[in-house]
């Protein structure tokens, strides 16, 4: 398996972002990413203008973000614009599926801030939908904005945004686990929602949601079956295949990059990776490897079944269910949310 790291949910000048796709790709290259997915609101102009492809060492892919006032939905690996349908988001989901794309419910729960458009949020309102591929459980811009509840906090979080990024909201993870328990093969994703927005306060120009900084925080790591070879068509297929299958994890990479993390289910002469399903057999066991010492929670059907500390972790008591991993690394006086894996299902 080959590991690559990237960032999805990004806005350019084709919608409400401030950077060109080439400028965004340069920022991604500076942040040592392998791929990015541009998801401008309501359009595929980057695709239409032939801006998919390699820029330096970064593969640029183009999707879009559907809907405006609520029920935002990321649509990846499509070639036709999906019309907005806020009142009937299932229609949007179905349109993405008709193009064999990847559909992700974006920033489903937001708290809002009275300093931003009087607590305006863009939450997901309709949980009776089905056949979507994933949920964006951790969104940098959304959670950062939620943390700004007074002017002093706004100043503090501008200079130290990490304080607002406290891991996926528990309510979102509960929803995600409930869908999995019902048998839905939904994957988890994280996004920066980077816009590169600049604001002027007197003579001072400030950048909020800076591209390069955002690309060092909530990232997506994928495992592919083949090595990327700087061929747009082939590499695009490999990346989207990994994203769609859940052969991936998300992590807050700023303090400790999660490259090298592995979560596997093992049996005699067999190994299963994230996004795969395995028929139960005796003597199965889970192994987790973290690149740095960490506190690791192994969860089955949304409930913690094992906790351990270190770099290598083993869990033996395997029974049918859906398993995933959460990792926390030591930071200052406590532990900081770090890695959230996709699942391995045992049936």
Per-residue 3-state assignment (H helix, E strand, C coil) for 274-293:
CCCEECCCCCCEEEEEEEEE
Among 223, 173, 116, 209, residue whose Cα is nearest residue 325: 173
- Would you state the torsion angle of the CA atoms of residues 23, 29, 35, 40, taken in this order, to the nearest 10 degrees? -20
Using the CB atoms, write b or e for 268-285: b if 16+ within 10 Å.
eeeebbbbbebeeeeebe
Q: Which of 20, 2, 47 is nearest to 211 (CA)?
A: 20
Q: Where in the chain is the domain with CATH 2.60.40.10?
A: 262-346
**Dihedral sign (CA 299, 329, 37, 109):** positive
- For residue range 71-130, what is the model confidence (pLDDT) as tens digits? 999 999 999 999 999 999 999 999 999 999 999 999 999 999 998 888 999 999 999 999
Please tell me the CATH code under which domain 2-252 is placed.
Answer: 3.20.20.140
The gap from C-alpha 15 to its chain's centroid, in whole angstroms, comes to 21
Query: pLDDT grade, residue 198 (50/70/90)?
Result: confident
Residue with the bigger pLDDT between 204 and 261: it is 261
Give the model's confidence band at 153: pLDDT under 50 very low, under 70 low, under 90 confident, else very high: very high
- pTM tops 0.75: yes
What confidence tens digit (pLDDT) does each residue in 311-335 have?
999 999 999 999 999 999 999 999 9
User: What pLDDT band is residue 200 in, cutting at 50, 70 and 90?
Assistant: confident
Q: What is d(CA 125, CA 136) in angstroms, rounded to the nearest whole number?
A: 14
Task: Give the CATH class of 262-346.
Answer: mainly beta
The rounded distance, in Å, linking the Cα atoms of 239 and 4 is: 9
Question: What one-character-per-residue DSSP string does 45-63 give?
Answer: HHHHTT--EEETTEEEEEE
pLDDT on residue 95: 98
- Say if residues 222 and 4 touch (Cβ distance below 8 Å): yes
Q: Rg (Cα) of the chain, in Å, rounded?
A: 19
Classify 170 as helix, strand or coil: helix
Q: Residue 174: is its pLDDT beyond 90?
A: yes
**Spatial distance between the Cα atoms of 172 and 70, rounded to a whole number of angstroms:** 16
Tokens 């591209």, residue? 211
Section 173-195 average pLDDT: 97
DSSP of 115-148, one letter per residue?
TTTTT-------TT-----EEEEEEHHHHHHHT-
Q: Is the dihedral of CA 267, 270, 276, 278 positive or negative?
A: negative
pLDDT of residue 126: 98
Residues of the chain with CATH 3.20.20.140: 2-252
Instruction: Using the structure block, give the residue that is written with the tokens 């990792």.
Output: 327
């Amino acid at each position: 398996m080959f590991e690559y790291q990237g960032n999805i949910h990004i806005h350019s000048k084709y919608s409400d972002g401030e950077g060109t796709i080439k400028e965004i790709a340069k920022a991604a290259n500076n942040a040592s990413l392998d791929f990015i997915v541009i998801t401008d609101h309501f359009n595929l102009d980057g695709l239409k203008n032939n801006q998919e492809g390699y820029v330096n060492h970064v593969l640029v892919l183009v999707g879009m973000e559907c809907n405006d006032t609520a029920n935002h939905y990321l649509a990846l690996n499509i070639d036709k614009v999906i019309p907005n349908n806020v009142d009937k988001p299932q229609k949007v989901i179905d349109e993405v599926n008709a193009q064999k794309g990847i559909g992700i419910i974006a920033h489903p729960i937001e708290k809002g801030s009275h300093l931003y458009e009087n607590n305006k949020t863009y939450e997901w309102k309709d949980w009776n939908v089905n056949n979507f591929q994933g949920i964006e459980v951790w969104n940098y811009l959304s959670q950062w904005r939620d943390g700004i509840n007074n002017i002093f906090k706004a100043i503090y979080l501008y200079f130290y945004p990490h304080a607002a990024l406290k891991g996926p909201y528990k309510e979102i993870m509960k929803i995600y686990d409930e869908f999995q328990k019902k048998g839905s093969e939904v994957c988890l994703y994280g996004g920066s929602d980077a816009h590169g927005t600049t604001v002027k306060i007197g003579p001072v120009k400030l950048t909020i949601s800076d591209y390069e900084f955002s690309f060092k925080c909530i990232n997506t790591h994928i495992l592919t079956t083949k090595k990327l070879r700087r061929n747009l068509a082939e590499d695009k297929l490999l990346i989207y295949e990994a994203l769609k299958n859940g052969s991936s994890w998300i992590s807050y990479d700023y303090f400790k990059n999660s490259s090298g993390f592995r979560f596997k289910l093992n049996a005699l002469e067999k190994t299963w990776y994230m996004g795969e399903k395995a028929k139960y057999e005796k003597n199965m066991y889970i192994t987790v490897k973290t690149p740095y010492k960490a506190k690791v929670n192994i969860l089955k059907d949304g409930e913690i079944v094992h906790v351990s500390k270190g770099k290598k972790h083993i869990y033996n008591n395997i029974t049918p269910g859906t398993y995933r991993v959460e990792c926390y690394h030591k930071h200052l006086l406590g532990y900081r949310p770090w890695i959230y894996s996709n699942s391995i299902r045992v049936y």
